[in-house]
Amino acid sequence: MISALLMLVVSQPMPMPGAGGGDKALAPTAIETARLYFIAGNIPSAREWGQRGLKKEAKLCKPLLKDLAEYSFLLSKYEALTLDEAKLMIVLDRRISPKAVGKLTTPVIERYVTGPMVRARLWAEQGAAGDAVKFIDDVLTVDPSNADAKALRAQLLAVADGGVVWDAGR
């Protein structure tokens, strides 16, 4: 009985990917694979998969390869990045991989965003609002959309002005 059932299952044809209408492909595309390698921190493999995808996904892969080249250049001078270069590196990371931060970008974010925010909070707790605002301004140069930095800056400026905010009700 079991062997007859097994023979019935084995004799059935395997379903083909994409034959059922809305089935997704079994393997990721070249650009998806390049992004996965980028997130993992493997830039050479990301570049290789971007080049593989030029035939089928040229519109997506050409800008990806350009961004990977710029990112690699900035990564090569990680120890001496200016604030504008750190900002560009974070922007490139978001363009290359919009859904997740790359492994190699995390130290840049820690060095130029997270670390200065911690120092700004420490200075603010010690009552040195002016010094704290300098750190926050650096964070906002690198990551202008950082909501925590904007909120802390507004709070420190309100304290520095004696509780009066000069933003004309905005």
Which residue type sits at 27?
A
pLDDT digits (tens, 9 = 90+) for 75-114: 999 889 999 999 999 999 999 999 999 999 999 999 999 9
pLDDT digits (tens, 9 = 90+) for 33-83: 999 999 999 999 999 999 999 988 889 899 999 999 999 999 999 889 999
Q: Which pTM value belongs to this model?
A: 0.74
Give residue 17's pLDDT band: very low, low, confident or very high (50, 70, 90). Answer: low
Q: CB neighbours of 120 closer than 8 A, spacing ≥ 6? A: 132, 133, 135, 136, 139, 149, 152
For 126-150, write each residue's pLDDT tens digit. Answer: 888 888 899 999 999 999 999 999 9
